Amino acid sequence: MDLAALADRLGYHRFWLSEHHGTPMLAGPAPELLIGPIAAATSRIRVGAGGVMLPYYSPLKVAEQFSLLCALYPERIDLGVGRAPGTDPVTAFALQRDRRQAVPDDFPSQLAELIGYLRAELPDDNPFSRLAGTLPGHPATPQLWLLGSSGHSGGWAGDMGLPYAFADFINPAGAELVAGYRRSFLAGQHEHASYVAVAVWAICAETEDEANELAASMQMALHLLRRGRPIPLPHPRKAIDFLRSVGQENEPLSGPGRRMVVGDPQQVRAGLEAVAAEYGADELIVVTTTYDHQARRRSYELIASALELTADDFTKTTAAGCAAA
């Protein structure tokens, strides 16, 4: 909540909360519970889920939750939905209500049902058609986004005419996948234009050396996560010692298959602008995870200053509140 209030004052356009389960590194299992308190504690910034992992839930329940949030905080609520589990297979199974079998992979039909509720567009022959008219926030609806890091998600977003948030911090080779989203969008002949936000890891400090030290915490956590050993985010000095012990102190900060923009304000601005240009992005989602909360605050302050954000201009940059435990 402190970070969201800061982002509101600095001029960030959105504050998104992720959904992750069963990990000691992140404190974000229920974004829908944090959106309301954060929206109440801020005045301008849009607040949303980045995102709700739809396979776990009833589309009607998600529609009701976010419709109610729209009634409370009009024109400020975003609903990003994703297909990924946000956790390991055992934890994903523990989250199932019915454990007799695996959850069916019917994400496109779930998404279509969710859209039908939110837009009151379920066909008359749908057994749930009357429920679309019972949402408490109608006619207000959240801004609906599809999250992803693959061609499948981009295709669905394009077909359904949704804005698309691409996770570069998961897949930094996504420019062509985003281009595929735009092609799908054009083929659908939607009335509005396609729209892309790209989520990128970034850590900014007064100096490059300080930023690199802060980034070591995430580097160690990712190293162990890839080996099935999730840990709380470690202190930077502990992380540096660990990385030295495994011979990775000079490896790329984000490790194999990852990208992280790290450095002083000028370096981070240049890095973020390069990512935006690579994708032709309409927005950037800045994901900053550090051991120390004050260092995280300072990173967002320095990025806002480097990008010349103001609270008056609604510059299209999002602060991602993937809350560090």
| Domains of the chain from N-terminus onward | 2-208+257-320 (3.20.20.30)
The reported pLDDT for the residue numbered 320 is 66
Which residue, 101, 23, 92, is CA-closest to 53? 92
Which residue, 128, 129, 113, 134, is CA-closest to 68? 134
DSSP 26: B
256: Cβ–Cβ under 8 A, 6 or more apart, which residues? none
pLDDT-derived band at 95 (thresholds 50, 70, 90) equals confident
Q: What is the residue whose two structure tokens read 């490059």?
A: 208
pTM of the predicted structure, to 2 decimals: 0.91
CA dihedral 49, 50, 54, 59 (to 10 degrees): 30
CA distances from 36 to 1, 18, 135, 310 (A): 11, 14, 17, 24
Q: Give exposure, 262-283, as e/b (b: 16+ Cβ within 10 Å).
A: bbbbebbbebbeebbeebebeb
Which residue, 302, 284, 288, is CA-closest to 13? 284
Give pLDDT tens digits for 259-292. 899 999 999 999 999 999 999 999 999 999 999 9
DSSP 324: B
CA distances from 219 to 206, 264, 289 (A): 20, 18, 11
The rounded distance, in Å, linking the Cα atoms of 16 and 285 is 9
> Long-range contacts: 273-281, Cβ < 8 Å, 24+?
275/168, 275/198, 275/200, 276/198, 278/175, 279/166, 279/168, 279/174, 279/175, 279/178, 279/196, 279/198, 280/178, 280/196, 281/196, 281/197, 281/198
86: Cβ–Cβ under 8 A, 6 or more apart, which residues? 18, 19, 20, 21, 53
Residue 11 has pLDDT above 80, yes or no: yes
Percent of the chain scored above 90 by pLDDT?
Answer: 75
Which residue, 67, 47, 174, is CA-closest to 119? 67
Give pLDDT tens digits for 103-150. 888 999 999 999 999 999 999 899 999 998 899 999 999 999 999 998
